[in-house]
């Protein structure tokens, strides 16, 4: 009987350790995604903030930058328009993701549609036109083959994401 309890304790400790490690890895993964979304959102932030600055040139809320000094940290600039718009942007995308039950699959569909043209087809075509590669040479055939397999990969991911949406909708 004592051996059985010891095995259960070890299984409990092992499962607790594994779930803790997975939890930490998930936090690292999600924080990386959040930072990536912030990087891709910078043009949107810049466009909206410049539009507000042009539209309301006399507004202190829009144009005034405050210098904030916190203990043990270097001074940084704070603009209330940037702070409020970026906070509203993050809150709205979070609410949309929570309301929309298969938001992840929709993003997968969009990503699979965008993947091949932006990451494979256009760069290959631009390279072929700028380097004046002759048709049916080894380089031309390899680049076209790479582009074809990239298209197939994008097509398979699109099919998989659509399957995920249909499965999510049915269940």
- What domain count does the chain have? 2
Same domain for 88 and 112: no
Q: Tokens at residue 81, please?
A: 């328009």
**pTM value surpassing 0.85:** no
Mean pLDDT by runs of 10 across the 171 residues of the chain is: 57 71 67 66 90 94 91 90 90 80 78 85 91 93 95 91 84 74
Q: Could you tell me which residues are beta bridge partners of residue 67?
A: 77
Same domain for 56 and 24: yes
Same domain for 106 and 161: yes
Q: How many Å apart are CA 76 and CA 67, to the nearest integer? A: 6
Q: Tokens at residue 32, please?
A: 């990386």
Supply the range of the domain harboring residue 11.
1-99
Given 51, 76, 99, which residue is the final one in a domain? 99
Q: How many Å apart are CA 41 and CA 93, to the nearest integer? A: 12
Same domain for 106 and 75: no
Place of tokens 């998930």: 26
Same domain for 34 and 6: yes
């Amino acid at each position: 009987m004592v051996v059985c309890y010891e095995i259960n304790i070890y299984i409990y400790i092992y499962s607790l350790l594994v779930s803790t490690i997975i939890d930490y890895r998930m936090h690292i993964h999600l924080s990386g995604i959040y930072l990536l979304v912030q990087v891709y959102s910078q043009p949107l932030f810049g466009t909206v903030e410049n539009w507000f600055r042009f539209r309301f040139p006399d507004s202190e809320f829009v144009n005034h930058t405050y210098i904030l000094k916190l203990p043990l940290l270097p001074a940084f600039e704070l603009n209330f328009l940037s702070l409020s718009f970026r906070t509203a942007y993050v809150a709205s995308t979070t609410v949309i993701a929570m309301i929309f039950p298969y938001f992840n699959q929709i993003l997968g569909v969009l990503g699979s549609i965008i993947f091949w043209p932006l990451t494979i087809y256009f760069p290959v075509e631009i390279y072929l036109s700028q380097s004046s590669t002759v048709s049916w040479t080894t380089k031309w055939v390899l680049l076209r083959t790479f582009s074809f397999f990239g298209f197939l990969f994008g097509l398979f991911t699109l099919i998989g994401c659509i399957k995920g949406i249909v499965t999510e909708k049915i269940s």
